[in-house]
Amino acid sequence: MRIPHLPALACLLLALSPGVLVAAPKAPVDAARLRAADAEPGQWLMDGRNYSAQRYSPLASINEGNVNQLGLAWFAELDTLRGVEATPLFVDGVIYNISAWNIASAYNAKTGRRLWTFDPKVPREWGRYACCEPVARGLAFWKGKVIIATLDGRLIALNAKNGKPLWSVQTFTKDWPYSITGAPRVFDGMVVVGNGGADLGVRGFVSAWDADTGRFLWKFYLVPGDPSKGPDGAASDSVMAMATKTWTGEWWKWGGGGTAWDSINYDPELGLIYVGTGNGGPDAQLHRSPGRGDNLFLCSIVALDAKTGHYRWHYQQVPEEDWDYTCTQSIIQADLTLDGKPRKVLLHAPKNGYFYVIDRTNGQFISAKNHVSVTWAKGFDANGRPIINPEAHYGTDPVLVAPGPGGGHNWFPMAFNPQTGLAYFPQYEHWFAYALDPNFKPQPFRSNGGWGGYSGEALKKRMELQKLINERESTALIAWDPVKQEVRWKVPLPRHGNGGVLTTAGNLVFEGTTKQTFAAFRATDGALLWEMPVQSAPVAGPITYEMDGVQYVAVNAGWGGGAAQIERGAGTALHRASARLLVFRLGAKKQLPPLKPAAPIPDPPPLRATEATVQKGAEIFARTCAQCHGQLAVGGVKDLRQMTRETHGQFNDIVLKGLRVDKGMASFANLLSPEDVEAVHAYVISRAQEDWGAGGAAGGPH
Residues with a catalytic annotation lie at 324
Report CA 578 to chain centroid distance, whole Å: 19
Instruction: Judge whether 585 and 114 are in contact, CB under 8 Å.
Output: no
Q: Quote the CA–CA distance of 512 and 531 in Å, as a whole number.
A: 9
HSE-up of 686 (CA within 13 Å, CB side)? 19
3-state secondary structure 633-646: HCCCCCCHHHCCHH
Strand order in the sheet with 486-493: 415-417, 422-429, 474-481, 486-493
Q: Quote the CA–CA distance of 693 and 671 in Å, as a whole number.
A: 34
Ramachandran angles phi, psi of 317, nearest 5°: -85, -25
Instruction: Judge whether 195 and 223 are in contact, CB under 8 Å.
Output: no
Task: Tabulate helix, strand, coil % of the chain (nearest 5).
Answer: 20, 30, 50
3-state secondary structure 384-411: CCEEECHHHCCCCCCEEECCCCCCCCCC
CB neighbourhood size of 189 (10 A): 14
Strands 165-170 and 154-159, sheet pairing: antiparallel
Q: Quote the CA–CA distance of 60 and 67 in Å, as a whole number.
A: 10
Q: Quote the CA–CA distance of 15 and 261 in Å, as a whole number.
A: 49
HSE-up of 483 (CA within 13 Å, CB side)? 16
CB neighbourhood size of 642 (10 A): 18
